[in-house]
């Protein structure tokens, strides 16, 4: 869908004015010193970026880039073609099928890595699929990343964290990929950084940017600004401030490494003015996602926004209709990279494997619709209509039998036909469980050179994490 260019220009002018006159607080003394040395105006703890500086730095970033998979056949283009999709990110609790909530563990992360690996609807694997509560917090980043690198060969979603932990992630990735030179040559590990709204960038985000830029790895600059709470209540003003924050992080990335791949990724929430909580299932969220994709095209940068997001407290009709609005909006507007594409419940509070399976079906439904119809002599097939004729039956026609498995939409979990006496909700959950079991039972770990595995294991052991003791199997 096309956004009015005049509106985009107005948002852009407001964002440039904010950067030039209000500035962004840089919560890291060494980073303020670095920016000052590069000619950025610093007053106190604020950095001010002139419109010319901002435009000059944005122009250095590529309009698109190739993110290379561990398996070359799973390499993807970011910024061109159809939307690429990653699963949920950041949850520390999991919702069970009955609605009970518990702390996530490393086994949950491993299960999700395998499900992502198995799905052709998802293109990146890893990140924080499920924050493990059974691994020390100072080592959980490595435990999750190791699990992803061992169990999948798709494109890599990294974890934005402080400099030392980012270095760990990059070094472990380099071992898996075949060395530092391989990592530095091509984009391999996607790192998401967020500002500390309103108009602040904290030390962890700055260190993540610095570390990613050191290895020439892509940075997803993604402020999470909520209308009326961490941002203005008016959507245009909220978008303008979020844009200013994203552009500031993009400029900083380009100062560290001109030409470094970046993604313009606003994650602008609605807000519930009754409770003060964020809302990721409201039409305000979807509408701001539409403008995020348009603004990224305005700046000639790849875009990112959220996916199957919702505020539902369970796997419910609310979870379905809110998620479909969000994921369809993102895909329809050709967002370059969609994060939170599968599994989210309760305003990011929980991940649900059952919701994950349901979201995969939503993505495929949306893709079927957005791919549109191909019209040619074969698809119009007037000869078949002539052959069957008035009152005839197409169901048993040879052309129907030939194409029935490839030319119609057949859901894996949605209910059709008779229930044979079963309760529909029970049958729906039964089909979700069957699809999950199918995906996991057919999972095959990628082949990895044994010497690479040994080197990865030695690295983990030096960092205080013996791979043989990691709690990767579900508790019985």
- The CATH code of the domain that includes 114 is 3.20.20.480
Angle between helices 106-118 and 353-370 (to 10 degrees): 20
- Backbone φ and ψ of 346, nearest 5°: 55, 55
Give residue 476's pLDDT.
45
Q: How far is CA 37 from CA 54, 59, 61, in A?
A: 16, 21, 21
Q: Is residue 69 part of a domain?
A: yes
Contact criterion met (CB below 8 Å) for 248 and 27: no
Burial label, 398 (beta-carbon count in 10 A; 0-12, 13-18, 19+)? exposed
Q: Is residue 203 part of a domain?
A: yes
Give residue 475's pLDDT.
59
Closest CA to 105 of 96, 97, 94: 94
Q: Is residue 38 part of a domain?
A: no
Q: Is residue 465 part of a domain?
A: no
HEC string for the chain: CCCCHHHHHHHHHHHHHHHHHHCEEEECHHHHHHHHHCCCEEECCEEECCHHHHHHHHHHCCCCEEECCCCHHHCEEECCCCCEEECCCCCCEEECCCCCEEECCHHHHHHHHHHHHHCCCCCEEECCCCCCCCCCCCCHHHHHHHHHHHHCCCEEECCCCCHHHHHHHHHHHHHHHCCHHHHHHCCCEEEEECCCCCCEEEHHHHHHHHHHHHCCCCEEECCCCEECCCECCCHHHHHHHHHHHHHHHHHHHHHHCCCCCEEECCCCEEECCCCCCEECCCHHHHHHHHHHHHHHHHHCCCEEEECCCCCCCCCCHHHHHHHHHHHHHHHHCCCCEEECCCCEECCCCEECHHHHHHHHHHHHHHHHHHCCCCCCHHHHCHHHHHHHCCCCCCCCCHHHHHHCCCCCCCCCCCCCCCCCCCCHHHHHHHHHHHHHHHHHHCCCCCCCCHHHHHHHHHHHHHCCCCHHHCCCCCCC
Report d(CA 159, CA 211) in Å as an integer: 12
Dig out the tokens for 185 from the structure.
Answer: 């040559």
Half-sphere exposure of 359 (CA within 13 A, CB side): 35
Query: Global pTM?
Result: 0.96
Cβ atoms within 10 A of the Cβ of 184, count?
14
Domain extent, residue 343, equals 59-370
Report d(CA 344, CA 356) in Å as an integer: 7
Q: Is residue 235 part of a domain?
A: yes
Q: Is residue 199 part of a domain?
A: yes
Per-residue pLDDT of the chain (476 residues; tens, 9 = 90+): 678 999 999 999 999 999 999 999 999 999 999 999 999 999 999 999 999 999 999 999 999 999 999 999 999 999 999 999 999 999 999 999 888 999 999 999 999 999 999 999 999 999 999 999 999 999 999 999 999 999 999 999 999 999 999 999 999 999 999 999 999 999 999 999 999 999 999 999 999 999 999 999 999 999 999 999 999 999 999 999 999 999 999 999 999 999 999 999 999 998 888 888 889 999 999 999 999 999 999 999 999 999 999 999 999 999 999 999 999 999 999 999 999 999 999 999 999 999 999 999 999 999 999 999 999 999 999 999 999 999 999 999 999 999 988 888 899 999 999 998 899 999 999 999 999 999 999 999 999 999 999 999 999 999 999 999 999 877 54
- Backbone φ and ψ of 68, nearest 5°: -85, 130
Q: Is residue 431 part of a domain?
A: no
Q: Is residue 91 part of a domain?
A: yes
Give residue 276's pLDDT.
83
Structural Rg of the chain based on CA atoms: 23
Q: How many domains does the chain have?
A: 1
Contact criterion met (CB below 8 Å) for 357 and 413: yes
Report d(CA 4, CA 1) in Å as an integer: 10
């Amino acid at each position: 869908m096309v956004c009015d260019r005049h509106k985009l220009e107005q948002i852009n002018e407001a964002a440039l004015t904010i950067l030039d006159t209000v500035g962004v607080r840089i919560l890291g003394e060494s980073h303020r010193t670095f920016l000052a040395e590069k000619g950025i105006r610093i007053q106190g703890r604020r950095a001010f970026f002139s419109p010319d500086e901002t435009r000059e730095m944005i122009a250095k970033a590529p309009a698109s880039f190739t993110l290379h998979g561990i398996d070359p056949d799973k390499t993807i283009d970011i910024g061109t073609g159809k939307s690429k999709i990653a699963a949920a990110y950041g949850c520390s609790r999991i919702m069970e099928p009955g609605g009970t909530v518990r702390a996530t563990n490393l086994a949950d992360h491993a299960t999700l890595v395998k499900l992502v690996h198995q799905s052709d609807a998802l293109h990146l694997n890893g990140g924080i699929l499920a924050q493990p509560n059974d691994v020390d917090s100072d080592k959980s980043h490595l435990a999750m990343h190791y699990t992803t690198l061992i169990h999948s060969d798709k494109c890599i979603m990294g974890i934005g964290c402080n400099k030392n932990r980012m270095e760990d992630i990059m070094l472990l990735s380099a071992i898996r990929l075949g060395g530092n030179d391989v990592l530095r040559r091509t984009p391999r590990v996607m790192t998401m950084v967020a500002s500390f709204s309103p108009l602040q960038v904290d030390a962890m985000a700055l260190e993540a940017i610095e570390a990613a830029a050191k290895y020439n790895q892509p940075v997803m600059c993604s402020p999470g600004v909520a209308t009326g709470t961490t941002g203005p209540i008016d959507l245009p003003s909220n978008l303008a401030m979020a844009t200013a924050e994203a552009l500031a992080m993009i400029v900083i990335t380009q100062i560290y490494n001109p030409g470094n791949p970046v993604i313009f990724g606003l994650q602008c929430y609605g807000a519930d003015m009754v409770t003060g909580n964020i809302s990721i299932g409201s039409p305000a969220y979807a509408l701001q996602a539409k403008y995020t994709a348009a603004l990224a095209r305005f700046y000639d940068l790849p875009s990112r926004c959220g996916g199957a997001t919702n505020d539902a407290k369970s796997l419910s009709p609310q979870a379905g209709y809110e998620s479909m609005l969000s994921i369809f909006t993102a895909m329809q507007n050709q967002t370059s990279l969609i994060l939170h594409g599968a599994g989210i419940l309760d305003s990011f509070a929980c991940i649900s494997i059952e919701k994950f399976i349901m979201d995969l079906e939503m993505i495929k439904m949306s893709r079927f619709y957005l791919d549109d119809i191909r019209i040619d002599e074969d698809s119009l097939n007037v000869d078949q209509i002539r052959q069957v004729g008035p009152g005839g039956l197409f169901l048993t026609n040879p052309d129907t039998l030939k194409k029935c498995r490839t030319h119609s939409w057949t859901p894996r979990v949605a209910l059709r036909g008779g229930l044979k006496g079963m309760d529909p909700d029970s049958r729906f959950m039964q089909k979700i469980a069957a699809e999950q079991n199918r995906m996991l039972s057919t999972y095959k770990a990628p082949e990895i050179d044994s010497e690479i595995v040994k080197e990865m294991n030695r690295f983990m052991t030096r960092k205080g994490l013996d791979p043989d003791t990691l709690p990767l199997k579900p508790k019985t």
